[in-house]
Amino acid sequence: MKHAWCVICACVAFPLFAETHLDVSQLVGTVTSALAVDRNDKRIAASLKSVRLTERLTPEMSALLVSMGAGPETARAIEALRQQSAGLPVPAQDALSTTPALSGPEQDEIIARMRRYVSEYLARFPDFIATKTVRQYHNWRDIDTFFSSWRNEATRITLENQWNETGAYTTEAAYVAGREHYGKTAGKEKRKSLPPVSVGEFGGMLEEICDPSRAAKFAWDHWQMVNGTRAAVFAYEVASEFSRYSVCCRAAAQSNGTPRQEYVKTGHRGFVAVAPQSGAVMRLILYATDLTDPGGLNAAGHVLEYADVDVGGSRHLLPVRSTAYVRIGQSESREEIEYRDHHKFSAEAAINFAEDPAPRERDRTTGH
């Protein structure tokens, strides 16, 4: 089964914290996600100021978390959380650990289990429908103003050092006969003519790192608690010559002089969290590589989380949350996606599918 997969420039939303109580495992997941889908150290640090821990963040755990890539402001915010939690009970299990280190044969075995799991997972993937809720954020105020500027019209935008929520919508997402489909936007909020951030979350992202034709390179990195399970986390990398990962958008002029969206195929790297005994993939973190134009599309990231979901009386590990990020010049967009109410697809299902986003470009850039 082959999957087309691309990330499309729209937005990517990681919500700012209100007063939030987290255990250490949740803090680790939150910070590692933020580091993947936000490139602003001060913004991440500010979001942590309202967090209140329910467990002790030890000095060892704090140092490991900072070593995951935290900037100086985020590191200071983590240290403040360590001090704030000093009198709390220690977690029953380490949320983050580099010991015991896996030997070479142990690493190879877990990776082989993961490849087998993904191959079988894609083969038995159920036809289903889920409700998809999307929240969009940008570091500018007026999305219409931004796209006027992107169309080279004489309009200026004001960039801000914070996320502004610019919209939310609900739609239906379905996986039928090996393909993803999306229903038309429902509810009061519209997507303001923006395409969805990504497609391929129901299978393409897994195939992109586990299909042998992608020639992904894996390296053991650390242990991490994910949804109460101790997962082995591997760093991975797929070179651009083997990748089918595409990012939108780079503006390109058509013959009549009007701009069009141009998709950019890139390599990617990141982290995959794997249940060591079953090989089940529990979490993916991705960073696009080879985006080097400082004034154009220059950054993209994606976090995808899985959970055990009932579909028609049987259990399946399916995507439940997705967060993505793109940056064009200094303009940043984030989108948070939640999938819920999964149920079995039937021919009688009442869903009004929208057109597949940018099918010609996606087919061309992904080879499908």
Model pLDDT, residue 60 = 93
Dihedral sign computed on CA atoms, order 134, 183, 196, 210: positive
Model pLDDT, residue 178 = 64
Pairs from 345-350 (Cβ < 8 Å, separation ≥ 24): 345/126, 345/127, 345/128, 345/129, 345/174, 345/175, 345/176, 349/129, 349/174
Identify the bridge partners of residue 269 per DSSP, sorted by sequence position.
Answer: 237, 287
- Do 20 and 7 touch, CB atoms closer than 8 A? no
Per the structure, the complete domain to which residue 326 belongs is given by: 1-368
Q: Quote the tokens at residue 180.
A: 């993803």
Model pLDDT, residue 363 = 31
Model pLDDT, residue 80 = 97
Domain count of the chain? 1
Q: What is the pLDDT along the chain (368 residues), one digit of tens a residue?
A: 444 445 444 433 344 445 789 999 999 999 998 888 887 899 999 999 999 999 999 999 999 999 989 999 999 999 999 999 999 999 999 999 999 999 999 999 999 999 999 888 777 777 788 888 989 888 876 545 545 544 444 445 577 778 888 888 888 877 776 666 666 555 444 444 344 444 445 667 888 888 888 999 999 999 999 988 899 999 999 999 998 888 766 555 455 655 556 677 889 999 999 999 999 999 999 989 988 888 788 888 889 998 888 887 878 888 889 888 888 888 888 889 999 888 887 765 555 555 444 433 333 233 22
Identify the bridge partners of residue 309 per DSSP, sorted by sequence position.
Answer: 316
Model pLDDT, residue 177 = 67
